[in-house]
Structure 1
């Protein structure tokens, strides 16, 4: 299983955001691209992958939305489609355990601390070990949206193994594609 956990620092937790203004919903466009990069292939779905979005934006406190490539239905790689699934998940009342919003899409209350408590993971960081030279890669990889990790988040992730993708900083969705490619090459 491959899991990508993306921290959406300003990602809206209100289902009322507009599908016509995804950047204005806390860069929901970038988060939707991360879901597509995690799960979609040219003509199919990565059944061995998951993408969790940790939404920290206003107004309803942190929420985590999980997408499972093995179970998801009606997902296409366009941002608007994925944002519609996120809106549906955010509209569902939930507690601290995952609740299915639609096939393969789950939602719960809780942020990064809850994710780190249940998933051992590695973190993407420019100062980390080069993924091409790493002897193994973690099952779960934590990365940030268009913003850097906050000081508090860095404290939470300070003890995690760190990996670098190269000398340039990539968008989160591009980083996911590079990581998939590296794992695909190792597994073939």
Structure 2
């Protein structure tokens, strides 16, 4: 099982946004692309992936959404589809434990500190160690959206292993694709 967690620094947390303006919802478009990159193959979904979105925008922050590939039923490969599932998840009342919003989609009122207590994340950062030189691949990865990690986040992740996917900075969704490709290559004996 591989897990990706993406921090949405400005992403709205109340579900009150238009699917016609995902960028205006605190760059929800970036997070939708990350969800899609985590799961989609040509004509199939990755069933062995979990994707967490840690939303830190206005009103009900922090909130965490969990997408589970092995339970997913209604995700299509467009941003609006992912956005609709996010919106649905944010519209239901929840507490500190995950509550199911749709098949394979869960939400709770917690943030990054709770995720770090539950998982050992490797941080994806352009200054990290080249992922292709790593002998054992991590199984959980943390990324930031279009913004850098905040000072509070930096203090939380300071002891985490840090990896890079290459010599230039990529968008978060592209980074997920590269990581997934590297995992696929290793599982199938490619060098």
Which category of TM-score, normalised to the shorter sequence, fits these structures?
Answer: over 0.9
**SS in structure 1 opposite 2:177?**
helix
**SS in structure 1 opposite 2:64?**
strand
Structure 2 residue runs of 5 or longer lacking an equivalent are none
**SS in structure 2 opposite 1:47?**
coil
Displacement of 1:162 in angstroms is: 0.4
Partners of 2:149 and 2:5 lie apart in 1 by: 13
2:160 paired residue number: 160
Displacement of 1:180 in angstroms is: 0.2
Displacement of 1:124 in angstroms is: 0.6
**SS in structure 2 opposite 1:132?**
helix
Runs ≥4 in structure 1, deviation > 3 angstroms?
A: none
Displacement of 1:125 in angstroms is: 1.4
1:147 paired residue number: 147
Partners of 1:31 and 1:127 lie apart in 2 by: 22
**SS in structure 2 opposite 1:24?**
helix
Partners of 2:2 and 2:53 lie apart in 1 by: 14
Partners of 1:168 and 1:65 lie apart in 2 by: 29
**SS in structure 1 opposite 2:163?**
strand
Structure 1 residue runs of 5 or longer lacking an equivalent are none
Partners of 1:69 and 1:185 lie apart in 2 by: 20
Displacement of 1:17 in angstroms is: 0.5
1:126 paired residue number: 126
Partners of 1:125 and 1:29 lie apart in 2 by: 21
Cα RMSD (Å): 0.6
2:111 paired residue number: 111
Partners of 1:126 and 1:90 lie apart in 2 by: 31
Displacement of 1:114 in angstroms is: 0.7
When the two structures are superposed, what TM-score results if normalisation uses the length of structure 2? 0.97
